Structure 1
Amino acid sequence: MRSMVLTGLACIVAAPALAQSPAPAVSLDALVQDVIANNPERQFYRRQIDTAGVERDAAGRWADPEAVVEFGQRRAQDVNLGNVTGEGQTYAVSVVQPIEFGGRIALRRAIAERQVSLARIGLQQFDATLAARVRSLGYGLFAADEKAGAAREVANRMRTLARTILARDPAGPSPALEAASLQASAIGAERTAATADADANAMLYELNQLRGAPFAARIRIIRPDTSLPAIGSSQTLAANATENNFELKALRVQFEQQGLRVDLARKARLPNVSVGPYFDRARSDIRETNYGVRLSTSIPLWNRQAGDVAIEQGRQAQANATLINAERRIAREVFDQAAQYEAKREALTRWDGNPPQRFAQAAADADRNYRLGAIPLTTYTQMQQAYIDATNAVLDTRREAIAALLQLRALNGGNGLAR
């Protein structure tokens, strides 16, 4: 009993330490792998591939045989004499196998094969889109933490300085007013940090949703590679996207599939032939048995399939129009994202010398010089705010550039874009 109490007390004492343990640090690559492995929605796409495979196997099979059983009464009568020569029960059994001609089974199997291809393209597109979203959210989470850290650093510096000023012997109203100004500026910096924390929480909750983790689970993103590679011209990118884009691949497969449906509708006019053995027996004064092979078919006289052919041809024309429109839309999106990426990349190139670190050092120098009385309060507060603004500007611009780059990769089928 005493050991159980001690164990319980040890758990109570250790609980706060566990609650305050730092969030695990993960890289963007590891985060993407984690999400793809554990995303619940991804299982649906894998199931679609299995379902399409079953449909493909079923499409290549023959139709089920048909069994016919007949019961009745038999009565034989001599036409010349008018008397009944035989009377009794009769029954017949036949089993026939429908046989299709014109390659309709092969056409149905080809249509089902396209359905398997569509399911695989859907999974690839989902993985590429999911990976791009995770990387965008992961970098956004890292940037939000960086912005919150810079704002809190400035706020703590200002509040510490304000307390130092108030602790001295005030010589007139200036020290108190300067302390109030510093505290007001600290409130603004803390609001910036709170906004960044709120953004980080929103992105963290979405990441946890995507990876199937508890919403309260905390993670920390290891500083990612923020290099922005040079990309090709918009015309080259649009041409590559036309070839590699998952949506366009799916639409092309659907167009091919619809063409096969048109062919299948045309072949439907060819008659089916059902062939199989039959057995017929009659019981009367004379037992009569008949057996042989039964052959049946339809006569395509009225061409009722013409309406089905016209419907499938209309759907084929619609699929072609959808494909052309999608090619134009995706090319426009490529041009748009490429322009945004180049604009952000050019801006970051102009901001050489790593501005956040440079302004962080300038803010620290301003704090030291203000304490020495070398600069006025206005210069001090301007440098602190400039540090926050520069950090936010660089992080936001880089995040927007990375988002545009990820979108370009998704439009290009998840392929790289470097020259």
Structure 2
Amino acid sequence: MAQMWTACRWFGLISAPSSHHCIITMKPHYLPFLLLTFGKAISTSQAAPPVNIDSLVATAVDKNPERLHYIAQIEAAYATFKSSGKLANPELGTQIGRKTSQDGSFRAEGAAWSVSLSQTFEWPGRIGLRKAIANKDLELAQLGLQQFTAALTARVRTLAFKTFAGKERETAAREVADRFQSLREVLVQRDSAGLTPKLELRVIEATTLTLRRQAADTALEQKKSLIELNLLLGRPAGNELAIQAPAFALVRLPPQNQLMKLARAHNFEMKIKTAELEQQGFHVALRKNERFPAITVSPMYSQEKAGATDRIVGVGISIPLPLWNRNEANLATSQAKQRQAEAMLRAATIDLEKDIAIAAATYDARREEIGDWKPESIDAFREAAALADKHYRQGAVASAIYLELQQKYLDAVDTLLSAKAEAMEARLHLEELTGSSLDLSKTSTFKKAAR
């Protein structure tokens, strides 16, 4: 409204203002500016609508700057793969000089020169092994991008729910703190003769301060989650963001053996460890192949002219003799790394089974806990807290019951939101571990319970 008043006064659209009304004089040539100013004032006064978590995930995947690192890795690995199957460049050699020929009293001089072209041919199978190794590098780079995208998706969902839950906790804490503050102002105005009213007033004041601190701490935690979320979305850290109440299905999980089957087939860490083991197998085969020499073929032509002209055309072949170095050290190193890759794959399988068991147990425990809640439970606690406040002011409810009910309302909100957060984190972790979607987007019957 301040923008509207200033614009009207500046362009003479308002005259003779009073405390209750003003006279508006319409000037047509100022009408477009006035409409623009009014529209801006109205649009800035409206809060941004809540954002769906799925849209946040899509934005993060599209704009997160760290993905560029993995994309660049894929491009580098692809460039290496394209060049891995090519032969070494041929070498061109030339020689030029002067020849002197003498036979008794006969002496002749002339130019002498030669040219050769050398091409090295690898032992059969060597180039194919190098291509296989480069192909595994490309596969590992692609798996790295997929793994990062999955981790980014889970992190955005987790932070979005933490931001939403923090806002809900802060709202509930401020609601009760405002209620206590209002009650304190009423009690101060009353006649507080006697010890009990004074003590009750002090309890109300102390509880108000505690709740204010609780609301401030909750707001700080919510702000921390929002800052990290904004950075993952590629936005300024201080951007405000309203998030819709998330919904996810509290369905039963598949049996653990089925989860492990999914994980062995789709888990990114298992895929990476398997690809690394296969790549080490190619390295071992390459080192064995490198014990056999490469062959260099060198066709050549030379000409010498000293009296007579001599021309030579031939082909040279050179093969290194493996007398002192048979590539045994490199072979032993590659075999040791292959054994390491096998051990890492076995260890990753054990860790994967442990992580799946813990995440599934956590999800089932929180799912059972949330199942005990009714959709209207939070609303019922909120209404009971408000009703207790009303009757306490009338003297119909004891202070102990009043204080306990207000605290239990806050505890109920925190308990439900914490259970939902742990269930969501466990479910998202299971999705990462199994590399499969577990239908998190289905509507939960408890969607309204946290509001």
- If the length of structure 1 is used for normalisation, what is the TM-score? 0.90
* Counterpart AA for 2:317: L
2:101 and 2:306 in contact (8 A); partners too: no
* Counterpart AA for 1:137: L
2:91 and 2:119 in contact (8 A); partners too: yes
Q: Does 1:386 align with 2:411?
A: no
- For residues 192-216 of structure 1, the C-alpha deviation after alignment (integer angstroms, 9 at most, x for no partner) is 1111101111101111111121111
Following superposition, the deviation at residue 409 of structure 1 comes to 0.7
Match of 1:139 in 2: 161
| Distance in 2 of aligned mates of 1:283 and 1:245 | 73
Structural mapping, 1:309-320, within 5 Å: 309-320=331-342
* Counterpart AA for 2:239: A
| Distance in 2 of aligned mates of 1:325 and 1:19 | 56
Structural mapping, 1:378-417, within 5 Å: 378-416=400-438
Q: Does 1:163 align with 2:188?
A: no
| Distance in 2 of aligned mates of 1:84 and 1:346 | 112
* Counterpart AA for 1:315: K
2:90 to 65, 72, 83: 65
1:280 and 1:291 in contact (8 A); partners too: yes
Following superposition, the deviation at residue 287 of structure 1 comes to 2.6
Following superposition, the deviation at residue 366 of structure 1 comes to 0.9
2:344 to 298, 322, 334: 322
Percent identity, please: 35
| Distance in 1 of aligned mates of 2:438 and 2:137 | 28
| Distance in 1 of aligned mates of 2:439 and 2:47 | 37
Match of 2:68 in 1: 43
Match of 2:224 in 1: 202
Structural mapping, 1:170-209, within 5 Å: 170=192, 172=194, 174-209=196-231
Following superposition, the deviation at residue 106 of structure 1 comes to 1.2
| Distance in 2 of aligned mates of 1:393 and 1:176 | 33
Match of 2:78 in 1: 53
2:102 and 2:108 in contact (8 A); partners too: yes
Report the more deviating stretch, 145-154 or 10-19: 10-19
Q: Does 1:34 align with 2:62?
A: no
Quick one: higher RCO (CA 8 Å, sep 6+), 1 or 2? 1
Match of 1:74 in 2: 99
1:128 and 1:414 in contact (8 A); partners too: no
2:262 and 2:436 in contact (8 A); partners too: no
| Distance in 2 of aligned mates of 1:184 and 1:9 | 51
Following superposition, the deviation at residue 74 of structure 1 comes to 3.4
| Distance in 2 of aligned mates of 1:282 and 1:364 | 113
* Counterpart AA for 2:212: E
Give secondary structure in 2 for the equivalent of 1:271: coil
Structural mapping, 1:3-402, within 5 Å: 22-76=47-101, 86-170=108-192, 172=194, 174-302=196-324, 304-402=326-424
In 2 relative to 1, CA 16–202 (structure 1 residues): closer, same or farther, beyond 3 Å? farther
| Distance in 1 of aligned mates of 2:210 and 2:273 | 52
Following superposition, the deviation at residue 128 of structure 1 comes to 0.4
Give secondary structure in 1 for the equivalent of 2:119: strand
Following superposition, the deviation at residue 184 of structure 1 comes to 1.8
In 2 relative to 1, CA 86–266 (structure 1 residues): closer, same or farther, beyond 3 Å? farther
2:163 and 2:225 in contact (8 A); partners too: yes
2:132 and 2:282 in contact (8 A); partners too: yes
In 2 relative to 1, CA 242–206 (structure 1 residues): closer, same or farther, beyond 3 Å? same
- For residues 377-417 of structure 1, the C-alpha deviation after alignment (integer angstroms, 9 at most, x for no partner) is 11111111110111111111211111111111111114327
Match of 2:26 in 1: none
* Counterpart AA for 2:271: K
| Distance in 2 of aligned mates of 1:90 and 1:296 | 24
| Distance in 1 of aligned mates of 2:230 and 2:360 | 30
Give secondary structure in 1 for the equivalent of 2:308: coil
* Counterpart AA for 2:81: R
| Distance in 2 of aligned mates of 1:385 and 1:311 | 65
Give secondary structure in 1 for the equivalent of 2:157: helix
5+ long unaligned stretches in structure 2: 1-6, 12-29, 441-451
Give secondary structure in 1 for the equivalent of 2:302: strand
Q: In the comparison of the two structures, how many residue pairs are matched?
A: 413
2:294 and 2:320 in contact (8 A); partners too: yes
- For residues 180-233 of structure 1, the C-alpha deviation after alignment (integer angstroms, 9 at most, x for no partner) is 322221211111111110111110111111112111111011011043221022
In 2 relative to 1, CA 171–417 (structure 1 residues): closer, same or farther, beyond 3 Å? same
| Distance in 2 of aligned mates of 1:227 and 1:272 | 62
Following superposition, the deviation at residue 89 of structure 1 comes to 4.1
Following superposition, the deviation at residue 151 of structure 1 comes to 0.5
2:129 and 2:286 in contact (8 A); partners too: yes
Following superposition, the deviation at residue 76 of structure 1 comes to 4.3
Following superposition, the deviation at residue 60 of structure 1 comes to 1.1
| Distance in 2 of aligned mates of 1:272 and 1:364 | 88
| Distance in 1 of aligned mates of 2:375 and 2:438 | 27
| Distance in 1 of aligned mates of 2:427 and 2:320 | 60
5+ long unaligned stretches in structure 1: none
| Distance in 2 of aligned mates of 1:358 and 1:332 | 40
2:84 and 2:130 in contact (8 A); partners too: yes
- For residues 227-269 of structure 1, the C-alpha deviation after alignment (integer angstroms, 9 at most, x for no partner) is 3221022333223212211011011111111111111111112
Following superposition, the deviation at residue 361 of structure 1 comes to 1.5
| Distance in 1 of aligned mates of 2:161 and 2:287 | 52
| Distance in 1 of aligned mates of 2:218 and 2:45 | 21
Following superposition, the deviation at residue 179 of structure 1 comes to 3.3
